[in-house]
Amino acid sequence: MERHTLISKPGDGEQRLDRFVSDRLELSRSRVQKLLAQGRVTLDGRQARKSQVVSVGSVVEVEVPEAEMVDIVAENLPIKVVHEDKDLLVVDKEAGMVVHPAPGHRSGTLVNALLWHCPDIEGVGGRARPGIVHRLDRDTSGLLMVAKNDVSHLALSDAIRARRVKRFYLAAAWGHLADSAILVDAPIGRDPRDRKRMAVLEDGKESTTRFEVHERWLRADLLRVALKTGRTHQIRVHLEHLGHPVVGDATYGLGWERGLGGPTRRWVDEFARRIKRQFLHAAELRFSHPVTREEMSFESPLPADLAIIAEWARSE
């Protein structure tokens, strides 16, 4: 059982209780409404209703029981382990693999593969997401930490919250950034028009990303990206916010390239044709070992599908 105390700040404004909890805890609105119906949410010490309004200074207490899921089955799936010791693993995830089971993805996930590779992680950090301390989107490739025991899980989770884990990505974005380095400090929350998307919102959670131009191509930039915070879809949302969405991003950049006309139109069309998934790769990971405190550093080159496209882009 997870227990959360949420205090409404001046920037939150007045809003319905179910939306407030949904945005703060990144839970679906339907999940929050079930918690309310079960009496697991209080507003200023009293059992709450979803239609109640949260005002500045209101205190919301939420009990979130562990998600009930079918047993997760260990599966002998190929995964690339780049480091392993008795406390943790570092995995180089392929694009297309979901990190943990969820509705619609009960098998074939990284967690299914990890349970086969390392059965001892079962139950570490919870039944639903054993060993997982941070995630990558399904179509994002690259480096991911996995805890092998509860001590490591707690320490790594704390390190992420305290921003002591350094994560760097490579991303291709349409068009050209105005400057060679840009810091985006724009809060992110659940898009009120589409709950499957995230968006830059005035009342969203603090979100900071640094973008540096690594290579300039004809009508796109290859960027080195440093995450200061770790919100859902953060890089993709911030690049859309800048007007330079990730190449191949079907959620935040679909059809954006159609606005890039002129004499380079053929290059743009060919680049869009060649890309089969979002051009986003978790390339570097730096952190202190949760037990020994040794400084750990890992790098992952662009996988073959993105490396081939990058080579074409820089040669044209």
pLDDT in tens, 164-199: 999 999 999 999 999 999 999 999 988 888 878 999
Helix axes 304-315, 265-274, angle to 10 degrees: 170
Length of the chain: 316
Name the pLDDT band for 67 (thresholds 50, 70, 90): low
| Res. 310: pLDDT tops 70 | yes
Of 136, 132, 135, 167, nearest to 153 by C-alpha is 132
- Which residue is listed with tokens 């089955």? 73
Q: What is the mean predicted confidence (pLDDT) over 97-108?
A: 81
* CA distance linking residue 26 with residue 17, whole number of Å: 14
SS3 content of the chain, % helix, strand, coil (to 5): 25, 30, 45
| Res. 70: pLDDT tops 60 | no
Residue 142, CA atoms < 13 Å, CB-side half-sphere: 25
Provide the pLDDT for residue 260: 83
| Res. 255: pLDDT tops 90 | no
Q: Residue 112 in contact with residue 73, Cβ under 8 Å?
A: yes
Q: What is the pTM of this model?
A: 0.80
Provide the pLDDT for residue 72: 85
The DSSP symbol for 64 reads E
Q: Residue 215 in contact with residue 222, Cβ under 8 Å?
A: yes
Neighbours of 115 (CB within 10 A): 19
Active site residue: 12, 18, 92, 137, which one? 137
Q: Which of 112-116, 254-258, 282-286, 312-316 has the lowest average pLDDT?
A: 254-258
| Res. 238: pLDDT tops 80 | yes
Residues with Cβ within 8 Å of 200's Cβ and at least 6 positions away in sequence, in order, are 186, 187, 188, 207, 237, 238, 241
137 among known catalytic residues: yes
Question: Six-digit token pair at 237?
Answer: 């949302």
